[in-house]
Structure 1
Amino acid sequence: MAPPRYELTLHRPISRSLLDVIETRFDHVSTPGADGTVLVVDNVDQASVRALLTLLWDTGHHVLAFEEKTA
């Protein structure tokens, strides 16, 4: 079974400083789109997902979509 991959679509681009914080806290993070509104996190557990969502909400980001992707 492949590790979970989560894709979060945000209302607006994520700032570089916040992305730096997220990359420090979570091992496998990427923003595949050029505009920075999609955040992909690999191999995290539910507690980590909740922490990430809380961090985004606390910094004023609105999550439009949250999907678990399978390989």
Structure 2
Amino acid sequence: MAPPRYELTIRGPISRTVLDLVQTRFDHMSTEGADGTVLVVDNVDQASVRALLTLLWDTGHHVLAFEEKTA
């Protein structure tokens, strides 16, 4: 079974400080899109996903969509 991959769409850009913090905790990739930024994290458990969402909310980022992707 492939490890889970989560895609989060965030309104606007993610601040550099938050991206640096995310990078220290997760394998991630982010891309700018028309609707905001898509942040992709791989191989994380539910507790880590909750911590990531809390971090984004606490730093004023608006999560527009959250989706689990399977390979």
Counting only pairs closer than 5 Å after superposition, residues 11-22 of structure 1 correspond to structure 2 as 11-22=11-22
Question: Are 1:30 and 2:44 counterparts?
Answer: no
State the alpha-carbon separation in 2 of the partners of residues 62 and 15 from structure 1.
12
**When the two structures are superposed, what TM-score results if normalisation uses the length of structure 1?**
0.90
- Which piece of structure 1 moves more, 35-44 or 12-21? 35-44
Partners of 2:13 and 2:32 within 8 A in 1: no
Q: Deviation above 6 Å: which 4+ runs of structure 1?
A: none
TM-score normalised by L of structure 2: 0.90
Structure 2 stretches lacking a partner, 5+ long: none
Unaligned runs of 5+ in 1: none
Alignment of 1:32-71 (within 5 A): 33-34=31-32, 37-71=37-71
2:2 alignment partner, SS class = coil
Structure having the higher strand fraction is 2
Supply the distance in 1 between the matched residues of 2:62 and 2:32 (Cα, whole angstroms).
Answer: 18
**1: CA distance between counterparts of 2:32 and 2:41?**
16
Aligned-residue RMSD, C-alpha: 1.2
